[in-house]
Amino acid sequence: MRKPIPKKLPRLASIVLVSMIINGIKKLYKDRLYDEPKICPKCGCKDYIRKGKQHRLFCRLITDKGPEDIYVYLKQYKCKRCNHRYASNGPFYPSISYGAPIVDTVLHLASTNPYNKVEILLMEMGIQVDRDTVKRWVILFKRRVIKAAGIWADKKPLGVNMLHLLFGVENVKK
């Protein structure tokens, strides 16, 4: 995987908006520890031993001084029954490296904009995500949504059952 090319803030970006977003992300997430234990994903055991913490990239911000990585910390656990090591839940989707709020913003913007425009809009907010990553996330979540709540005909997806996706029900009566 290649590293993204560091971006610079556009000259026409609203300094007030960018500083609000950057300061908000820093205040809410920078060096935050997520330490709520969960059951072992391998065997389902609730008994664990704490085993330190790991830092994980939440997002990369574009600042006047250059790119700034925002990390969060996930508490590490070891299952007493099967010795499996696992981390606490954090603000991440499975198999996505950036934090869920950033991914949600990307998906929202991608619903009405092409991938390269999403990259530009994020750059104007002070968040670095390249257009190839935007495309990859959109495709990944499209597949997940179709798998979870797809409406099928002749082995082809026709649409998505939004009631099932949002509320876990099949129809309005339920």
28-62 pLDDT, tens digit per residue, is: 999 999 998 888 889 988 999 988 999 999 999 99
Q: Is residue 4 situated within a structural domain? A: no
Q: How confident is the model at residue 101 (pLDDT cuts 50, 70, 90)?
A: very high
Contact (CB, 8 A) for 10 and 123: yes
Q: Residues of 58-75 as b/e, b for ≥16 C-beta within 10 angstroms?
A: bbbbbeeeeebebebbbb
Contact (CB, 8 A) for 93 and 145: no
Averaged pLDDT, 83-90: 90
Q: What is the pTM of this model?
A: 0.80
Query: Which range of residues forms the domain containing residue 159?
Result: 15-167
Q: How confident is the model at residue 1 (pLDDT cuts 50, 70, 90)?
A: very low
Q: Is residue 106 situated within a structural domain? A: yes
Q: Is residue 5 situated within a structural domain? A: no
CA distance 122 to 7: 11
Q: How many domains does the chain have?
A: 1
Q: Is residue 116 situated within a structural domain? A: yes
Residue 151, pLDDT > 50, answer yes
